[in-house]
DNA sequence: ATGAAACATGAATCATAATTCATATTCCTG
DNA sequence: CAGGAATATGAATTATGATTCATGTTTCAT
């Protein structure tokens, strides 16, 4: 909201969009430090100086993009969840995962931008995940009250879930350069719901370790 | 193994150690790009040029450290697991988590170094997690054969577990600047073992989603 | 003890890349 | 359609920081 100087004409809007698109692309491929302003402006087909009509400096685009992408993703997840308001927590989790992967597919940049942001601006990085966590915690608490979910620390679980999403994304999109299929999502949801252990003799093992 | 030119005298060994310690500290606080060679040599109390007696360039220390730390961590986990060779998979997982957190506490650098490495050298980054995953997969398969663990894709689960560890570390060590206690580890292990859902009516919900 | 190999030094070099700015062009309201 | 506001330009400035290198010191095997 302060990272960017918003344009006042149609032309300005187009230019800003071009710069943002170019920046998102380059940051996600090469990272923050390896991306030069010159690269961005070149890809956006504008002069170097034009960049500075919209952003005070390099970090600003980066943080602006992160903010925007995070906002869009949270919105997309919220929307998708609201389409199935009566679904159980675990079904909502399936929806979240699906939307998350879909979003990462569209905006591959987000993922790498967020991870790198901790070295660009630690506060923004923290804020990003805290916002996400907060949304999760709300849902988890609700599900705990309804008796669906057990009495874990919701914050802890929210980070565990985010960790699962992030690392599966890493494995599929980054390492394998493919994308998760529905069978994979099924497994993940099942894992989150019931854990990795065989279902037999379940109570036993659980008690013995407390 | 190629990142560093190993010293041939006692003095050289001491110097290399001083440089590595300084680098690990600075990289973990400020990250790769914000750390200058000059900072490292200053903290190590050696001249700037001395650095280049041991490393061909800046990325080399970084990747060397990552390699060493990764090796140490895997070794520590393997050792701890072997002390309880008859423990169940899930108890082994408890041990791994505990050792992981302990290691991060001692070498906070590792965590941030690894995360940033994807923008320094993507291959090293990938290799780091693949090595870790491989260890996990071995254990998971064993536990699947013994019937303890269900028939998930072991690779998928290995990344899910690493994600949980990493993000809980992030939350505790980085965001809260505290450290996970034993109660937290209990919850994590319980979550991994049995999932988040209430234990009642377990089979039902599970079937309906397949 | 000696001298060739190792190691240490830090000022100087060199390359890179963020940012500025004076000027030119385009927009759009009245 | 006039003219002030917006926007565009890209060469020049400036800062930064990695890397080199010629020179001096220390190590240690013989």
Report the candidate in A192, A130, A184 with the shortest Cα–Cα distance to residue A161. Answer: A192
CATH of the domain at B161: 1.10.357.10
Query: B90-105: per-residue pLDDT in tens?
Result: 999 999 999 999 999 9
Counting beta carbons within 10 angstroms of the beta carbon of residue B182, is it exposed (0 to 12), middle (13 to 18) or buried (19 or more)?
Answer: exposed
Under DSSP, the state recorded for A173 is I
Q: Is residue A70 part of a domain?
A: yes
Structure tokens at A194: 């019931």
Could you tell me the CA-to-CA distances from B126 to A101, A113, B104, B131 in Å, in that order? 20, 17, 20, 9
Q: Is residue B40 part of a domain?
A: no
Looking at the partner chain, which of A30, A140, A153 has a beta carbon nearest the beta carbon of B187? A153
Q: Is residue A20 part of a domain?
A: no
Of A152, A160, A176, which to mutate for an interface test with B (greatest number of B Cβ within 10 Å)?
A160
Closest nucleotide C1' to the C-alpha of B53: C7
Please say whether the beta carbons of A45 and A23 come within 8 A.
Answer: no
Q: What is the pLDDT of residue A1?
A: 56
Q: Is residue A112 part of a domain?
A: yes
Going residue by residue through chain B (210 aa), what tens digit of pLDDT does each one get?
A: 589 999 999 999 999 999 999 999 999 999 999 999 999 999 999 999 999 999 999 999 999 999 999 999 999 999 999 999 999 999 999 999 999 999 999 998 898 999 999 999 999 999 999 999 999 999 999 999 999 999 999 999 999 999 999 999 999 999 999 999 999 999 999 999 999 999 764 444 444 333
Q: How many domains does chain B have?
A: 1
- Expressed as residue numbers, the domain containing A107 is 59-196
Q: Is residue B68 part of a domain?
A: yes
A contacts of B28 (beta carbons < 8 Å): none
Longest dimension (CA), chain B: 68
Please say whether the beta carbons of B95 and B80 come within 8 A.
Answer: yes
Q: What is the pLDDT of residue B34?
A: 95
- Rounded CA-CA distance A1/B62 in Å is 35
Q: Is residue B32 part of a domain?
A: no
Q: Residue-wise over A6-35: b if at least 16 C-beta within 10 A, else e?
A: eeeeeeeeebbebbbebbbbbbbeebbbeb
- Rounded CA-CA distance A154/B95 in Å is 23
- Rounded CA-CA distance A30/B110 in Å is 22
Q: Is residue B2 part of a domain?
A: no
- Rounded CA-CA distance B1/B64 in Å is 8
- The low-confidence residues of chain A, meaning pLDDT below 50, are 201-210
Q: Does the model's pTM come out above 0.85? A: yes
Q: What is the pLDDT of residue B185?
A: 98
Question: Would you say the C-beta of A198 is within 7 Å of strand D?
Answer: no
Q: Is residue A151 part of a domain?
A: yes
Distance from CA of B201 to the nearest CA of A (A): 10
Query: B51-90: per-residue pLDDT in tens?
Result: 999 999 999 999 999 999 999 999 999 999 999 999 999 9
């Amino acid at each position: 909201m302060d990272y960017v100087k918003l344009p006042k004409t149609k032309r300005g809007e187009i230019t800003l969009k071009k710069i943002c698109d170019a920046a998102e692309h380059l940051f996600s491929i090469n990272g923050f430090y390896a991306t030069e302003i010159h690269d961005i402006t070149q890809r956006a087909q504008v002069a170097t100086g034009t960049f500075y009509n919209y952003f005070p400096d390099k970090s600003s685009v980066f943080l602006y993009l992160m903010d925007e992408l995070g906002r869009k993703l949270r919105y997309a997840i919220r929307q998708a969840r609201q389409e199935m308001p009566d679904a159980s927590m675990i079904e909502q989790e399936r929806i979240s995962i699906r939307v998350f992967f879909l979003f990462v597919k569209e905006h591959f940049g987000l993922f790498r931008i967020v991870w790198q942001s901790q070295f660009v601006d630690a506060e923004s990085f923290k804020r990003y995940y805290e916002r996400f966590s907060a949304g999760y915690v709300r849902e988890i608490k609700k599900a705990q009250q309804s008796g669906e979910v057990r009495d874990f620390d919701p914050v802890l679980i929210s980070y565990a879930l985010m960790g699962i999403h992030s690392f599966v994304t890493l494995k599929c999109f980054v390492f394998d350069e493919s994308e998760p299929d529905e069978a994979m999502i099924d497994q993940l949801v099942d894992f989150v719901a019931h854990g990795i252990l065989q279902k037999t003799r379940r109570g036993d093992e659980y008690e013995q370790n407390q």
